[in-house]
A = this chain, B = another copy of it.
Amino acid sequence: MSDAAPDLRVERKPKLSETVVAAIRRQLQAGEILPGHKLPTEGQLTETFGVSRTVIREALAKLAADGLVEPRQGAGVFVTEHISTVFGALAADMGAKDSVALNVLEVRLAVEIESAGLAAIRRNAAQEAAIQEAFFEFERLLLDSQPTGPADLAFHRAIASATNNPFYVEMLDVLGRRAIPCDVTSPWSTELVQSDDYQRGLQREHLVILNAITAGDAEAAREAMRAHLGASQQRYRERLQARQAYYANSVKAAAGE
């Protein structure tokens, strides 16, 4: 035995219960079943998913372990009040204003900084591999001059995931979707986001983070992430000003002559 060649490849076939977990997770996140309400019974889920009750139960156990649902014997399985729901409602009303977006980005900054520190300490081999994978994916896309947004997001998610605290991931999902400036597809952002310089800069900062995490240095990881997101914040602010100036000119142009 010994060198069993851990084989970091992550292609293993998904267990049935995992697919069920993913499906139910999606439904919960989409708000198809509201907090406090009851899930379909195990029997019903058995039918809808076409798997045995064993698999359903395993999936529910996993969801319960993450605190998403709470089974009560004799009554049913209920959706717990969850952070994301609160923030979902909270974040719903703030897509409009950019100053708000900046504030949210700032909260995300707090979460991600700590996230990086924890990841440096707690990551396991597979999680570290996932982070590196996202990093190299970014690199590859950059060389191909393809949009790097998804890889950037994957990088951050991998780090959040490496904290082994599911709430960090959830938090990032909720905050990120609204505040991540990297993958917004707006007319004024494309030319900036797609510039090579910009993306090279991002990747440089990513590298520092990655190194700190692989080195297991929490303090350095936090600092690197702080620098990265601080810079992002700054870039976003500049872009905002540029946009405002643009609009101001438009208005002036439209009014003046």
Contact = CB atoms under 8 A, between A and B. Distances in A.
Given A83-B174, A123-B83, A103 B61 contact: no
B124 A83 contact: yes
Interface string A1-36: 010101000000000010000000000000000001
Interface stretch (A163-171, A181-189, A234-242): A163-171
Contacts of A213: none
Nearest to A2: B36
A196 interface: no
Contact of A83 (B86, B109, B164): B164
A208 interface: no
Nearest to A226: B114
Interface stretch (A43-51, A63-71, A245-253): A63-71
A166 B97 CA distance: 13
A198 to B, nearest CB: 25
A117 to B, nearest CB: 9
A66 B166 CA distance: 10
A114 to B, nearest CB: 3
Contacts of A124: 67, 80-81, 83
Interface string A108-123: 0111011100100111
B174 A67 contact: no
A141 interface: no
Contact of A104 (B2, B107, B167, B216): B167
A80 B167 CA distance: 22
Contacts of A107: 83, 111, 165, 167-168, 171
Contact of A122 (B84, B164, B171): B84
Contacts of A57: 54, 58
The 3 closest A-B pairs by CB, nearest first: A110-B114, A67-B100, A65-B65
Interface in A201-222: 216
30 contacts: A2-B81, A4-B36, A4-B81, A6-B81, A54-B54, A58-B58, A61-B61, A62-B65, A65-B66, A65-B96, A66-B100, A67-B97, A83-B107, A83-B122, A83-B124, A84-B121, A84-B122, A86-B174, A87-B121, A87-B122, A90-B174, A104-B167, A106-B165, A107-B165, A107-B168, A107-B171, A110-B110, A110-B168, A113-B113, A113-B114
